[in-house]
Amino acid sequence: MPSQARTLFGHLVAYGASELASKLSRLGVVIAVARTLEVKEIGIAAAALAIGDLLKSLTENGIGQRLIAARDEDLPALCNRAHQLFWIWGLGLFAAQAALAGLVWGLSGNTMLALLILVLSGEYLFMPGGLVQTALALRKGRLKKTAAIAGGQAVLANLASIVLAFYWPTALALVLPRLVTAPFWLISMRRLHPWRRDPAAGMAPVRPFVQFGWAVLGTEIVKTARLHADKLLIGALLGPELLGFYFMAFNAGLSLATSFSTAFAAVLFPHLCTSADRAGALRQALLVSLCLVAPAVMAQSLAAPWYVPILLGERWAELAQPIAILCLVAIPTMLWTAAAGWMRAENRPGRELAATAVLTLALIANTVITAPFGLVTIAWGYLAVASVTMLALSLPALRAALSSPRPQAAQLPLPLPMKA
């Protein structure tokens, strides 16, 4: 295996292992809440998490990726400005989400939903202090360690949720651990790549961040809407109890797809940015990722009728079929994740934003149209729409990857530099 492919494979395995550990512990959460919480409570928590994740998508504003792709001589001034922007952005999001919690309470009178949204806003007070360090660590190729930190936080949060679900079975069990484990992430990132402001370097202009970040931010908002707007629609159309069933089915069925795509996206962008042969790197990434993903999701799909009633209990056995269907979404998702990463590395974030908007609208339309016909119909529609739309939107990247000449081994660029 060429050195570049080995580096990519190693990073994918590291992030994949992190995501796998996170999802296995998340499976423990699903089992715990399935046996301790009422479906309506799960639905309320799902609504709060969807609202929180929609707002959290605003943290993916392209500032960190601007640092990853920056020239060495520009980096100190860019880091100074990024640090300032991260704090302005984080405090603004905290205030906005706290205000939203108050609005939800005032309009609906649902104290628990408002409290959950308020608790989730506390994460924004911890994030700005570690985001510059995270970007610099990714820039240096320390992806395995950033993966371990992210996975460690997720596992800690999920273990805390399991304990809370058994000893304090309320919707807070699904939300509070996110806030409690935020200091772990902050301390770990600051130790991984220490950084201090360099006053002598001055402050870089805001314009480079805006020019690169507006489309990245729009893409992340639309991407998060694709993942969570359906939950808000189901809650509004069918009520919190059916939202609870929907949340459980999609959380179990799409968890592997989400895990792989998250790991792939985290590894792919710096891999493409540092590659002299970007099309060849994209081709390698697609081959490696699909070889890892396809067998795993096929096995998960085929085994769903056996493991769903065993793990979740008999009252959730009817979810086996939609879960089996949704597992297969991971395959087209990997194609689209690669295409989106290629567009961003090619400095075409506007095209990525437009394509993500098309995909999101198509999946939201599927939810609205199929919701009256039940979970199985929603799942089949989701798989069909996602497969066709993602494949169509990925064609430019696929053509670039498949039409470029294959480089000789001696011509391959050096792998992403790694430091202990």
Say if 308 falls within a structural domain: yes
pLDDT at 140: 87
Amino acid letter, residue 412: L
- Measured between its terminal Cα atoms, the distance across the chain in Å is 23
pLDDT at 5: 53
Say if 416 falls within a structural domain: no
| Distances 183 to 18, 23, 208 between C-alpha atoms, Å | 19, 21, 30
- Please give the chain's pLDDT, 420 residues, in tens: 555 555 656 666 666 666 667 767 777 887 888 888 888 888 888 888 888 888 887 888 888 888 988 888 889 999 999 999 999 999 999 999 999 999 999 988 889 999 999 999 999 999 999 999 999 998 888 877 888 898 889 889 999 999 999 988 898 999 999 999 999 999 999 999 999 998 999 999 988 788 777 777 777 778 777 777 777 788 777 777 778 888 788 777 777 667 777 677 767 777 777 677 777 878 877 887 788 778 888 888 898 889 888 877 787 888 899 989 988 988 888 888 888 888 877 878 788 888 888 998 999 999 899 988 888 999 999 999 999 999 999 998 888 887 755 444 333 333 333 333
DSSP H helices, 313-415, are 320-327, 330-345, 349-370, 375-403
pLDDT at 411: 36
Say if 40 falls within a structural domain: yes
What's the CA angle centered on 42, arms 260 and 248, to 5 degrees? 40
Distance CA 307, CA 301 (A): 10
pLDDT at 9: 60
Domain that holds residue 192: 3-404
pLDDT at 237: 77
Say if 411 falls within a structural domain: no
pLDDT at 3: 56
Distance CA 377, CA 379 (A): 5
How many domains in the chain?
A: 1
User: Count of residues for the chain?
Assistant: 420
Say if 419 falls within a structural domain: no
What's the CA angle centered on 333, arms 331 and 338, to 5 degrees? 105
DSSP secondary structure of 194-218: -----GGG----SHHHHHHHHHHHH
Say if 413 falls within a structural domain: no
- Output the CA torsion sign for 74, 5, 389, 380: negative
Say if 410 falls within a structural domain: no
| Distances 274 to 371, 413, 415, 417 between C-alpha atoms, Å | 44, 8, 8, 9
Amino acid letter, residue 256: L
Say if 409 falls within a structural domain: no
Distance CA 71, CA 83 (A): 17
Q: Token pair of 112, please?
A: 């628990």
Q: Token pair of 235, please?
A: 């809650």
The 10 Å Cβ neighbour count of residue 214 is: 15
Return phi, psi of residue 118, to 5°. Answer: -65, -45
Spatial contact of 363 and 382, defined as CB atoms under 8 Å apart: yes
Distance CA 37, CA 244 (A): 10
